[in-house]
Amino acid sequence: MSSHDRKERFYITTPIYYVNDLPHIGHAYTSLACDVMARYYRIRGIDSRLLTGTDEHGLKIQRSAESRGETPQALTDRISDNFRLLAGEMNVSYDDFIRTTEERHKEECQKLWCRLYDRGDIYKGKYAGWYATSDEAYVEESELIEKDGKYVVASGAEVEWVEEESYFFRLSRFQDRLLDYYKSHPDFVYPKSRYNEVVSFVEGGLEDLSVSRTTFSWGVPVPGDESHVMYVWLDALVNYVSALGRVDPPSALHEKYWPADWHVVGKDILRVHAGYLPAFLMSADLPLPRGVFAHGWWTSEGQKISKRLGNVLDPVKLKRMYGLDQLRYFLLREVPFGRDGDFVRRRLCERNNADLANDYGNLCQRTLVLLSRYGEGIMPRLEGLLAGDEAFLLKVGEALKCSEVAMERLGFDEALSEIWKCLRMANIYIDNEEPWRVVKEDRVRGVLILGVILEVLRRVSLYVWPFMPDSCDKILDLLGVGLEDRRMESLEKPVAGGTQLPPPEIVFPRLREEEIEDGT
Ligand code: MSP
């Protein structure tokens, strides 16, 4: 049994988002993936916690506030709110939203710093090097490109030469311990290809990390030396711990949820999460997360997303155009989680029409209409099933089990494809059984066929619920499933025979791309 199989509680985190940008599809994507996982465990009765938030310190924010004539606090308050609103718009069921400018964070951050310092893992030295301000990163001389008499890096960010007194974290000390840890925890980094990338990165050698700055003041002050503020990555990574409250003595939340099950991040920030974070935690003598999952990046209609190209995908606009659950489904179904993907609107419409409107919605609608026509909309008792019905239900059960295995590894596309196998089987079943014909000769049998399909739709909807909670709730309403039975514990409990179902309604309308208007 791997460490990811421990089930009594579940803690998952999104990265905390920089507040120098408006929320875009990349932010929505990570948060949605985490939301699906948190809901997946919740519906299984597992106490699960989802953390998200904003990363608010650093030179970039300080400068950006100055240039607008605002205080950094006012700027971060305003922009952080956009991320909170985005989570609401995307139906992301977060349990906590942390801001690195909150006192609770700063306090724990300082205490952790002291722990690292007391261990002898932080020392004072001098840093000199090229710094790319808008990337918030020091860069190697070899990465510099000359442009219009200035130096820039590949991202286009300008660099400046910085010399400053700095505290350093003895990252080099942790190289062997990290490598041992990866070896004994092959599930620590997902997907597998990313695991290899992290191992080679650490094998390549780790230098001590500069963890403080004196060139700006918008940050967490270093305890005992307030001319320094903490380097943004140290400050930011600590959020996953500080959000749970006190470490020493541990708060109830810390005891219950630390370490996290998954830190879900984009591929660009995998190394800091799978390399720096574990080293900080080892130094602080805190348990390491069970896993770090790196997802890929979206392009838009084949092009890199950039403000310059004006093709930034605004998730709220997309929601207005296509529907929230349609967007949630597309993002997690279209591309295997971990790979890069291309956002193609035509594909979203096709997927919506084939998977949601046809396979799922139409099956539901058709069956319910037949039941209301031939069975007065009353759910039949599932008695007198034929061998073929039993075999069909068994196959459905097997596919749903396979989807669980995929979900444990954040294999959303695979899980959905297993679930959709059930819907395809159900569509074949209804076509083969022809209940509309059978009811005319044997009403009881005809209605029973409809009952079997509705039972499959009920089970499927419980599995799809974490992905599309609103739509599945609508379907579960139509299927007569009480609120108390919308959980996996009730999986084996069909809707009672004799239940009067509400009038059928279409849940997933078809989308015609040419009719969709830009929602601005
Ligand atoms: N503040 C840091 C994270 C600190 S976590 C302790 C940060 N913030 S960010 O706002 O720049 O990025 C947040 C996430 O958005 C990252 O995981 C990044 O990979 C993701 N994405 C940014 N653009 C993206 C796409 N085009 N596609 C998918 N995800 C992308 O980094």
Q: Is the CB of 478 under 6 A from ligand 1?
A: no
DSSP state of 381: P
Determine the pLDDT at residue 3.
44
pLDDT of the residue at 7: 60
CA 268 to centroid of ligand 1, rounded, Å:
7
Percent of the chain's residues with pLDDT above 70: 98
Q: What are the pLDDT digits (tens) for 3-58? A: 445 568 999 999 999 998 789 999 999 999 999 999 999 999 999 999 999 999 99
Per-residue pLDDT for 418 more than 90?
Answer: yes
Atom of ligand 1 nearest to the CA of 265: 17
Centroid of ligand 1 to alpha carbon of 499 (angstroms): 48
Does 26 contact ligand 1 (Cβ within 6 A)? Answer: yes
Residue 163 is predicted with a pLDDT of 85
Residue 18 CB less than 6 A away from ligand 1 = yes
Q: What is the pLDDT of residues 246-258, one digit of tens each?
A: 999 999 999 999 9
Percent of the chain having pLDDT more than 90?
86
Q: Is the pLDDT of residue 204 over 90?
A: yes
Residues 213 and 373: their CA atoms lie apart, in Å, by: 73
C-beta separation of 284 from 115 below 8 A:
yes
Q: How many angstroms does the Cα of residue 26 sit away from the middle of ligand 1?
A: 6
> CB count, 10 Å around CB of 303?
11
Q: Is the pLDDT of residue 223 over 60?
A: yes
Alpha helices in 238-323 (DSSP H): 239-242, 252-257, 270-271, 277-284, 315-322
Q: What is the pLDDT of residue 259?
A: 98
Q: Is the shortest distance between the CB of 83 and ligand 1 below 6 Å?
A: no
* Three-class secondary structure of residue 388 per DSSP: helix
- pLDDT higher than 70, residue 275: yes
* Cα separations in angstroms, 25 against 90, 97, 308, 496: 11, 19, 16, 42
- List, for residues 481-505, the tens digit of each pLDDT value: 999 999 999 999 999 999 999 999 9
Contact indicator for 516, 321 with CB cutoff of 8 Å: yes
pTM of the model: 0.94
Rounded to the nearest whole angstrom, what is the distance from the C-alpha of residue 364 to the centroid of ligand 1? 38
* 78 touches 38 (CB < 8 A): no
Q: What is the structure's pLDDT at 520? A: 43
The arithmetic mean of pLDDT across residues 343-348, rounded, is 96
The pLDDT mean for the chain works out to 94
Cβ(476)–Cβ(493) under 8 Å? Answer: no
pLDDT at position 155, please? 83
pLDDT of residue 310: 86
Q: Are 379 and 496 in contact (CB under 8 A)?
A: yes
Strand order in the sheet with 209-210: 137-139, 122-132, 159-169, 209-210
C-beta separation of 92 from 31 below 8 A:
yes
Mutate to test the pocket of ligand 1, among 265, 280, 281, 340 (most ligand atoms within 8 A of CB): 265
Task: Give the per-residue pLDDT at 91.
Answer: 98
| Mean pLDDT for the stretch of residues 306-312 | 85
Note the pLDDT of residue 6.
53
Neighbours of 8 (CB within 10 A): 7
Look at residue 2 and tell me whether its pLDDT is greater than 50. Answer: no
* Residue 518, pLDDT score: 62
DSSP H or E run through 402: helix 387-408
Q: What is the pLDDT of residues 426-475, one digit of tens each?
A: 999 999 999 999 999 999 999 999 999 999 999 999 999 999 999 999 99
Per DSSP, the three-state class of 504 is coil
Please tell me the predicted confidence (pLDDT) of residue 1. Answer: 37
Q: Each residue of 107-157: pLDDT tens digit? A: 999 999 999 999 999 999 998 888 887 777 778 888 899 888 889 998 888
**All residues at 6 or more sequence positions from 508 whose CB lies less than 8 Å from its CB, including other chains:** 326, 352, 356, 357, 360, 361, 471
Residues 267 and 296: beta-carbon distance below 8 Å: yes
